[in-house]
Amino acid sequence: MALLEVSHIDTYYADSHILFDLSITVEAGEVVCLLGRNGAGKTTTVRSIAGLTPPRAGAITLRGRDIVGLPPFRIARLGIGFVPEDRRVFPNLTVHENLEVARRTWGNGSASPWSEERVFDLFPILRERRRQAGGTLSGGEQQMLTIARTLMGNPEILLLDEPSEGLAPIVVETLREQLGRLKASGLTIVLAEQNVRFVSDLGDRVYILEKGTVRYQGSMARFLADDEVRRTYLAV
């Protein structure tokens, strides 16, 4: 049984039909990348999994249990941590307080819990910024804090929505190394991205979305070797 199975989902925003019969499988320990142009449906897919825009048809199962219709906080407590694209940190709280709030809200008492020290080991810059207000951090630091907050909830699966977007190349590189360390720790990751270079060393498998459906799936190695696929669906 796959850790996470998205089967044949249809998702809407009000009357707009966005995802069509979309299926994705995620095995424990994998980094699965969702690629596609702007508007392809990557964000809607991770929002569907996180319970923010529940699909109207199809199933999403975590270890075989259907989670469709559960409120987002329940899905988070079951072990699916969502890092949204818009980096919601509490601007008036310090880095330490942002992490503390997350621990209280989402902490699920898993066997190898994340602590503030452990997230600071992964993101050393946050240790330096510990007493600083979240709103004063740079874009890259806010992205790291958003990921760190989600980790404080001890997720089994991390959903990341375009983490590299809008960040300077050097910061993107740092973030890529940090996510590589998370992968090495055994965390399962679903990574929605437009930046192929960012995911190419991280990802195990790739799904390419277009107009709300899966157009291609394969191993990262196969995807990288296929110029035609990249030209057709990604324009890179």
Of 34-42, 71-79, 103-111, 217-225, the segment contacting ligand ATP by CB under 6 A is 34-42
User: How would you classify residue 93: left for phi > 0, otherwise alpha for psi between -120 and 50, otherwise beta?
Assistant: beta
Contact 41, 209 (CB under 8 A): yes
For ligand ATP, the binding residues in 187-216 under the rule CB under 6 A are 194
Of 41-49, 105-113, 115-123, 128-136, the segment contacting ligand ATP by CB under 6 A is 41-49
Of 3, 4, 41, 114, the one binding ligand ATP (CB under 6 A) is 41
Query: What is the distance between the alpha carbons of residues 230 and 208, in angstroms, rounded to a whole number?
Result: 9
The sign of the torsion formed by the CA atoms of 90, 96, 100, 106 equals positive
From the number of C-beta atoms within 10 Å of its C-beta (0-12, 13-18, 19+), residue 157 rates as buried
Of 3, 18, 83, 157, the one binding ligand ATP (CB under 6 A) is 18
39 in contact with ligand ATP (CB under 6 A): yes
Of 3, 24, 30, 42, the one binding ligand ATP (CB under 6 A) is 42
* Number of residues engaging ligand ATP in binding (CB under 6 A): 12
6 in contact with ligand ATP (CB under 6 A): no
Nearest to ligand ATP of 60, 152 (CB atom): 60
Q: Least Å distance between CB 145 and ligand ATP?
A: 21
Query: What is the distance between the alpha carbons of residues 101 and 34, in angstroms, rounded to a whole number?
Result: 30
Q: Residue of minimal CB distance from ligand ATP?
A: 43
For ligand ATP, the binding residues in 85-114 under the rule CB under 6 A are none
Query: What is the distance between the alpha carbons of residues 20 and 155, in angstroms, rounded to a whole number?
Result: 28
Return phi, psi of residue 222, to 5°: -65, -45
36 in contact with ligand ATP (CB under 6 A): yes
143: part of which helix (H) or strand (E)? helix 139-151
44 in contact with ligand ATP (CB under 6 A): yes
Interaction mask 121-160, ligand ATP, x per CB under 6 A: ----------------------------------------
Q: Least Å distance between CB 114 and ligand ATP?
A: 27
- The number of residues making up the chain comes to 236
Query: What is the distance between the alpha carbons of residues 109 and 197, in angstroms, rounded to a whole number?
Result: 36
Strand 65-66: give its sheet, edge to edge.
16-26, 4-13, 57-62, 65-66
Binding site for ligand ATP (CB under 6 A): 13, 16, 18, 36, 38-44, 194
